[in-house]
């Protein structure tokens, strides 16, 4: 069996599709190379190869020699860009400046020479010489790439621009040739700077983990070490205002932590001993001692960054479609350019004879064809899409939404329906006290059921049953003192009893109270009526008679109704899928305003429901907890999990994870996805529209080479700047 390995290369200047073609051509004959993938935003090329047949450093040298792009192997996407030689870092800008200076002097010589006493012939020779110097300066880095492209039969932008410059010079249009050389250098420089800006913006959004940590030694001494040297069980000091360097649990101290880097939640949360903390979050006013739960490489923020970087390296469907379009678009425009150069001449020759094909006619149509060649550059069209997708992914990560690929960012905005699991998704997934009732005729003042809750909490606190624990938790939330129950004893599956203040109390199901002979007729009727409501009723009695009953139910998430209403305003249908009984499902759906609900479903039934909705209403997504809803999540067009910041399983299984365990980012995500798609479509329309306009002007002889270059530069900058708007908060 053949073993495959993978290595990554940092490629200086990798920011457009034509560099991708150069790199593909450079390794097409390399033995052992299986496949290539490219990340234009981070300037990375990933090579899958047969183990033992490829040596990364040697392959890097081969790629550099064949493509002219400086290539070095790196250990991962997070490593800094290599420094490289002076020429690789400054050659393009330097040659562009030199070309600009020579062009300016040449134009000045042609314009001011005769006015300063030079002969017309002398000023013309000076103009041509300086413009030729501008062509040479601007072509130092371009012409070698043009030759490599021609020899490799690759019709890239380097070939198109090189031919345009040489063609203009051959026609004697030295000022036009020099202008093209200069403006193309400006175009490449500005494009490179804009892509670098996009890279820095994305990196700033993602690289939020501190580089150092203050480790507390066994003797209490504090030493500063690299954050990646912290090990499981180490104690780390986190001062006020510092970022938490690792995942762990608080051992000492209380503080408020700003967790928006993880959850997107802007409000700091209170944390104390025993509470979890996460690397990348910001400590508030207190000083904390944190016990590390693992190394930095296992931290949640590290996994998030890795997921986002992996998503950046992939291509969204719209990006793949644009790349395929550009593959056919460029040859098509070149064919149009050749037709522009030849058809008018053939027509003139056929209608007027050979004498009709004179030099001015040839020169005019050849020049128009060169303008069309320049228009063939697809860079603005190709680069706008990945910049928009990566900006969208990074902005989502800052909002506490982890999207695992550009395709999911695209698809979530195209959904027409969303299915929701009930328990743990639309509800909190735990029993909570919703009603406390004192039995009719029970002794004691009518205190609103506080005495019932106090005694029930005392008994529930001694046992391990989830309902008893929920009652005790609710009592403490209401600041009710919970006494200690003596002589506690559980009756499995039914209830429990114990003594409080020397009075024996029984707590449990209606059946248990009946079997114990403690259910009086009036109380029996009360419990029967309580059983008709949603939830579970727990009765509390003494030997003297009933004290009251408590109803518990799985409460709806406080934000769920608002989120569902907002989704409806966005035009999405909603359906709740649950295994609960129809009565409970109907009550929850009615309370939250869910559009539709399906009850008493097994996991396989949920899959069928999602498929049915997709066939009836269009693309359907699924929102669940990422574990027990796995079949339905897999069947949906896009799966969304409420991660809860400690849920590693949700990070692995869902397409999208709402890190705050909160539904409120969901409507924002829909709007954000739609805004990203809208921005991509705007950029595509702008790029194609601009080129079509210049093409029409060129056919009518109204466009020059420098106009075509200027239009291409402007379009590239505008589409990149437009895509970067997605990084701004509140832009959707």
Please answer whether residues 423 and 599 qualify as being in contact, where contact means their C-beta atoms are separated by less than 8 angstroms: no
Task: Name the token pair of 108.
Answer: 């000045």
Do residues 491 and 538 touch, judged by C-beta distance below 8 A? no
| DSSP code per residue over 543-566 | TTEEEEEEEEEEEEPTTHHHHHHH
CATH class of the domain at 212-298 = mainly beta
Q: Write down the mean pLDDT value for the chain.
A: 80
Q: Which of 283, 316, 289 is nearest to 222 (CA)?
A: 289
Q: What's the confidence (pLDDT) of residue 729?
A: 62
pLDDT single digits (tens) 416-452: 999 998 888 898 878 888 888 888 766 555 566 788 9
At 267 the pLDDT is 62
Specify the pLDDT at position 78. Answer: 43
Class of residue 328 by CB neighbours under 10 A (exposed 0-12, middle 13-18, buried 19+): exposed
Q: 308-346, pLDDT tens digit by residue? A: 666 555 555 666 666 666 667 777 777 888 888 888 878
- In the predicted model, what is the mean pLDDT of residues 262-269? 64
Q: Where are the domains of the chain?
A: 4-84, 88-208, 212-298, 428-555
Q: Which of 175, 421, 461, 625 is catalytic?
A: 421
Most confident segment among 188-197, 253-262, 708-717: 253-262
487 is catalytic: no
Q: CATH second-level architecture of 4-84?
A: 2-Layer Sandwich (3.30)
Q: Average pLDDT for residues 384-405, to the nearest whole number?
A: 80
- pLDDT winner (highest mean) among 329-333, 500-504, 581-585: 500-504
Query: Longest Cα pair distance anywhere in the chain, in angstroms?
Result: 126
Q: What is the mean pLDDT of residues 157-176?
A: 77
Model pLDDT, residue 76: 44
Q: Which of 467, 449, 554, 447 is nearest to 507 (CA)?
A: 467
Burial environment of residue 436 by CB neighbours within 10 A (0 to 12, 13 to 18, 19 or more)? buried
From the number of C-beta atoms within 10 Å of its C-beta (0-12, 13-18, 19+), residue 407 rates as buried
Per-residue pLDDT at 383: 67
**Six-digit token string for 553:** 């139910």
Closest to 502 (Cα-Cα) out of 481, 518, 485, 516: 485
* Predicted pLDDT at 308: 62
**Stronger pLDDT, 328 or 198, i.e. the higher one:** 328
Whether the predicted model's global pTM rises above the 0.85 cut: no
Do β-strands 417-421 and 573-577 pair in parallel, antiparallel, or remain unpaired? Answer: parallel
pLDDT above 70 (res 307): no
Out of 138-147, 321-330, 702-711, least confident range = 321-330
Gap between the Cα atoms of 213 and 633, Å rounded = 39
Annotate 374-443 with three-state secondary structure: HHCCCHHHHHHHHHHHHHHHHHHHHCCEEECCHHHHHHHCCCCEEEEEHHHHHEEEEEEEEEEEECCCCC
Q: Residue 394's pLDDT is what?
A: 79
| Highest mean pLDDT pick, 431-440, 454-463, 702-711 | 454-463
Alpha-carbon span 703 to 434, nearest angstrom? 75
Q: What distance lies between CA 543 and its chain's CA centroid?
A: 62
CA distances 382 to 16, 20, 164, 386, Å, are 7, 11, 21, 8
- How confident is the model at residue 565, as a pLDDT? 95
Q: Which two tokens stand for residue 251?
A: 């051992």
Contacts of 564 (CB under 8 A, 6+ apart): 574, 592, 593, 594, 595
CATH class of 428-555: alpha beta
Choice among 18-32, 284-298, 380-394, 653-667 with the minimum mean pLDDT: 380-394
Among the residue ranges 81-95, 233-247, 432-446, 519-533, the one predicted with the least confidence is: 81-95
């Amino acid at each position: 069996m053949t073993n495959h390995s993978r290595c990554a290369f940092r490629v200086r200047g990798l920011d457009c599709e034509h560099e991708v073609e150069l790199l593909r051509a450079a390794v097409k004959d390399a033995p052992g190379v299986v496949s290539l993938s490219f990340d234009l935003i981070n300037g990375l090329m990933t090579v899958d190869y047969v183990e033992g047949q490829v040596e990364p450093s040697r392959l890097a040298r081969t790629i550099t020699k064949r493509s002219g792009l400086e290539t070095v192997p790196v250990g991962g996407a997070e490593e800094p860009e290599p420094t490289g030689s002076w020429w690789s870092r400054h050659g393009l800008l330097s040659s562009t400046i030199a070309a600009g200076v020579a062009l300016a002097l040449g134009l000045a010589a042609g314009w001011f020479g005769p006015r300063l006493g030079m002969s017309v012939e002398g000023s013309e020779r000076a103009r041509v010489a300086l413009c030729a110097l501008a062509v040479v300066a601007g072509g130092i880095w371009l012409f070698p790439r043009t030759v490599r492209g021609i020899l490799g039969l690759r019709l890239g932008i380097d070939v198109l621009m090189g031919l345009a410059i040489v063609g203009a010079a051959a026609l004697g249009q030295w000022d036009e040739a020099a202008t093209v050389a200069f403006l193309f250098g400006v175009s490449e420089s500005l494009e490179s700077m804009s892509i670098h800006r996009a890279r820095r913006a994305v990196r700033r959004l993602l690289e939020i983990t501190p580089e150092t940590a203050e480790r507390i030694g066994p003797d209490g001494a504090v030493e500063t070490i690299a954050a990646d040297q912290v090990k499981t069980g180490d104690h780390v000091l986190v001062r006020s205002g510092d970022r938490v360097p690792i995942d762990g649990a608080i051992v000492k101290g209380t503080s408020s932590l700003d967790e928006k880097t993880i959850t997107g939640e802007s409000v700091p949360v209170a944390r104390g001993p025993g509470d979890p903390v996460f690397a990348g979050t910001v400590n508030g006013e207190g000083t904390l001692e944190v016990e590390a739960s693992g190394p930095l490489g296992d931290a949640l923020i590290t996994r998030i960054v890795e997921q986002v970087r992996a998503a950046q390296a992939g291509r969204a469907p719209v990006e793949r479609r644009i790349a395929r379009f550009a593959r056919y678009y460029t040859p098509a425009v070149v064919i149009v350019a050749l037709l522009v150069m030849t058809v008018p001449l053939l027509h003139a020759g056929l209608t007027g004879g050979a004498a009709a094909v004179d030099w001015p006619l040839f020169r005019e149509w050849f020049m128009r064809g060169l303008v069309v060649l320049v228009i063939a550059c697809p860079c603005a069209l190709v680069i706008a899409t990945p910049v928009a997708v990566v900006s969208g992914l990074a902005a989502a990560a800052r909002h506490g939404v982890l999207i695992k690929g550009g395709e999911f960012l695209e698809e979530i905005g195209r959904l027409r329906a969303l299915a929701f699991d009930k328990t743990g998704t639309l509800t909190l997934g735990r029993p909570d006290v919703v009603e406390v009732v004192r039995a009719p005729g029970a002794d004691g003042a009518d205190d609103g059921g506080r005495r019932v809750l106090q005694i029930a909490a005392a008994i529930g606190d001694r046992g391990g049953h989830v309902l008893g624990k929920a009652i005790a938790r609710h009592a403490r939330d209401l600041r009710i003192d919970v006494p200690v129950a003596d002589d506690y004893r559980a009756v499995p599956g039914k209830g429990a009893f114990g003594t409080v203040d020397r009075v024996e109390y029984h707590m449990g199901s209606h059946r248990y109270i009946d079997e114990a002979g403690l259910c009086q007729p009036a109380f029996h009727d009360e419990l029967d009526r309580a059983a008709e409501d949603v939830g579970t009723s727990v009765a509390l009695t003494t030997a003297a008679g009933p004290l009251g009953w408590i109803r518990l139910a799985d409460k709806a998430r406080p934000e769920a109704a608002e989120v569902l209403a907002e989704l409806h305003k966005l035009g999405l249908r909603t359906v709740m899928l649950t295994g609960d009984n129809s009565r409970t499902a109907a009550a929850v759906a009615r309370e939250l305003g869910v559009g539709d609900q399906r009850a008493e479903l097994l996991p396989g039934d949920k899959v069928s429901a999602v498929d049915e909705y997709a066939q009836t209403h269009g693309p359907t997504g699924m929102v669940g907890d990422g574990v027990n809803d796995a079949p339905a999540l897999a069947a949906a067009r896009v799966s969304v999990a409420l991660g809860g910041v400690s849920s590693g399983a949700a990070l692995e299984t869902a397409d999208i994870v709402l890190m705050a365990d909160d539904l409120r980012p969901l409507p924002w995500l829909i709007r954000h996805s739609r805004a990203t798609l809208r921005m991509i479509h705007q950029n595509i329309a702008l790029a194609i529209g601009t080129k079509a306009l210049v093409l029409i002007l060129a056919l009518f002889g109204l466009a020059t080479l420098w106009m075509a270059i200027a239009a291409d530069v402007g379009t590239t900058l505008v589409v990149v700047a437009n895509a970067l708007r997605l990084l701004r908060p509140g832009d959707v």
